[in-house]
């Protein structure tokens, strides 16, 4: 475990690292940010599951990377040369990790991708399958970096130098391996002298916008202003925002998207003030088997996140009922475009998302 305070820039750390020789994953414990940068190592299935569920590692792409590394490490420890025994244990570990966060499709996407390696190579020795799983896990991370940069290039084409950009939650480098998704156009623009001004929603109740997005953008030298969630309408009405970029945990076949709670409110306000609202989504988050947003399973989280977390004293009466969904669904008619690594999907999404996936498969 390593703790750092102010001696290193948060952008100097990798979000998720495989320490293969030590049979561990190293992550930044994001529940401690921005006050303390603490690196923790995960070795057991329980530790990996807890890290995902408790949001120590979070953001759809980063969860996928952590899942790929995690299932590889667990498979590496299966002591058998019998494929059937190996695969049965692998499946149990896979299903266990998959239960940690049901909404983020990258979790199941990465685990299913790793499972396909097992199935496709079932006639090979178990030791060789383990090495192939290692290579696939590394490729998932390297692919994430390529994908995020490509999303950034496509997103950058939608804005111009000096624009005001609003974002919600954290879809930045801390949610991926590099660049982020919603922040990728911002980081690329910063490198090229676009001088954007970014408004970051605080993102109640877990404050990912305040603790993470404003933290990393400020550390990277981006001109960023933190606002409360209920201030987005005020800055849009004043003409301070020319585009909204948000991330995404799942895209349904009709273009509905699930993202951090409050995203649909931002989209509704953006439509009222004629501000284009863009969802930055790797193709790994597109789920054509989910017809509409109504079919997306929305995770509900503990009441204490609303009533007690971040407060010195409880800020709600004892016994009051609390509704705390982690995500909401933004209807497709509120979305100006879905920015992927293979281009921008627009209405009608039933057609354009299939075209995007066809480009990927080609």
Tell me how far apart the 2 most distant CA atoms of the chain are, in Å.
Answer: 66
Quick check: helix, strand or coil at residue 323? coil
Give the span between the Cα atoms of 26 and 297, in whole angstroms. Answer: 29
Mean pLDDT along residues 252-257: 98
SS3 content of the chain, % helix, strand, coil (to 5): 45, 15, 40
Q: Which residues contact 276 (CB under 8 A, 6 or more apart)?
A: 158, 242, 243, 244, 270, 336, 337
Q: Are the beta carbons of 310 and 206 closer than 8 angstroms?
A: no
Nearest CA-CA partner of 202 in 310, 323, 332, 50: 310
Give the span between the Cα atoms of 91 and 111, in whole angstroms. Answer: 10
pLDDT of amino acid 104:
73
pLDDT of amino acid 1:
52
Q: Which residues contact 120 (CB under 8 A, 6 or more apart)?
A: none
Q: Is residue 249 annotated as a catalytic residue, yes or no?
A: yes
Residue 360 has which token pair? 């990927």
pLDDT of amino acid 293:
98
pLDDT of amino acid 3:
52
pLDDT exceeds cutoff 90 at 102: no
Quick check: helix, strand or coil at residue 172? coil
Give the span between the Cα atoms of 184 and 200, in whole angstroms. Answer: 14
Phi, psi of 95 (to 5 degrees): -65, -35
Mean pLDDT along residues 67-81: 98
pLDDT exceeds cutoff 60 at 59: yes
CA 153 to chain centre: 18
pLDDT exceeds cutoff 80 at 296: yes
| Percent with pLDDT over 90 in the chain | 96
- Facing residues of 41 across strands? 26
**pLDDT bucket at 7, cuts 50 / 70 / 90:** low
pLDDT exceeds cutoff 50 at 114: yes
**pLDDT bucket at 103, cuts 50 / 70 / 90:** confident
Nearest CA-CA partner of 138 in 219, 242, 251, 25: 25
pLDDT of amino acid 262:
98
The model's pLDDT over 122-176, given as tens digits with 9 standing for 90+, comes to 999 999 999 999 999 999 999 999 999 999 999 999 999 999 999 999 999 999 9
pLDDT exceeds cutoff 70 at 343: yes
Between β-strands 286-287 and 250-252, what pairing exists: parallel, antiparallel or unpaired? parallel
| Percent with pLDDT over 70 in the chain | 98
Candidate list 249, 256, 287, 328, residue with the active-site label = 249
Q: What is the DSSP string of 268-297?
A: HHHHHTT--EEEE--GGGEETTS-SGGGSP
Quick check: helix, strand or coil at residue 249? coil
Nearest CA-CA partner of 310 in 179, 227, 210, 188: 210
pLDDT exceeds cutoff 80 at 304: yes
Between β-strands 277-280 and 243-246, what pairing exists: parallel, antiparallel or unpaired? parallel
Give the mean pLDDT of the chain.
96
**pLDDT bucket at 8, cuts 50 / 70 / 90:** confident
Does the pTM surpass 0.85? The reply is yes
The model's pLDDT over 275-294, given as tens digits with 9 standing for 90+, comes to 999 999 999 999 999 999 99
pLDDT exceeds cutoff 50 at 5: no
Classify residue 37 as left (phi > 0), alpha (psi -120 to 50) or beta.
beta
Give the span between the Cα atoms of 66 and 62, in whole angstroms. Answer: 6
């Amino acid at each position: 475990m390593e703790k750092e305070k102010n001696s290193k820039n948060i952008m100097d750390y990798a979000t998720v690292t495989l320490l293969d020789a030590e049979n561990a994953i190293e992550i930044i414990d994001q529940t401690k940010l921005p006050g303390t940068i603490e690196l923790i190592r995960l070795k057991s299935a329980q530790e990996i599951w807890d890290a995902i569920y408790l949001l120590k590692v979070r953001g759809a792409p980063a969860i996928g990377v952590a899942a790929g590394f995690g299932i590889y490490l667990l498979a590496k420890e299966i002591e058998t040369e019998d494929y059937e025994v190996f695969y049965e244990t692998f499946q149990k570990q896979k299903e266990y990790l998959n239960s940690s966060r049901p909404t983020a499709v990258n979790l199941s996407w990465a685990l299913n991708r790793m499972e396909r390696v097992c199935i496709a190579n079932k006639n090979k020795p178990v030791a060789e399958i383990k090495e192939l799983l290692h290579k696939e896990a590394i490729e998932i991370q390297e692919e994430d970096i390529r994908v995020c940069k490509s999303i950034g290039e496509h997103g950058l084409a939608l804005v111009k130098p000096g624009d005001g950009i609003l974002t919600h939650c954290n879809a930045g480098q801390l949610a991926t391996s590099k660049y982020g998704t919603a922040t990728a156009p911002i980081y690329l623009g910063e490198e090229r002298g676009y001088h954007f001004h970014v408004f970051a929603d605080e993102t109640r109740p877990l404050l990912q916008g305040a603790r993470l997005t404003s933290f990393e953008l400020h550390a990277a030298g981006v001109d960023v202003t933190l606002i409360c969630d209920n201030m987005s309408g005020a800055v849009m009405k004043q003409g301070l925002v020319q585009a909204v970029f948000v991330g995404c945990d799942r895209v349904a076949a009709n273009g509905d998207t699930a993202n951090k709670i409050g995203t649909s409110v931002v989209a509704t306000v953006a439509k009222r003030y004629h501000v284009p609202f863009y969802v930055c989504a790797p193709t790994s988050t597109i789920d054509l088997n989910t017809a509409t947003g109504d079919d997306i399973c929305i995770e509900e989280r503990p009441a204490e996140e609303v009533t007690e977390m971040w407060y010195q004293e409880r800020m709600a009466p004892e016994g009051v009922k609390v509704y705390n969904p982690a995500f909401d669904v933004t209807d497709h008619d509120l979305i100006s475009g879905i920015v992927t690594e293979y281009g921008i999907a627009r209405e009608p999404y039933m057609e354009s998302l299939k075209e995007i996936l066809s480009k990927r498969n080609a």
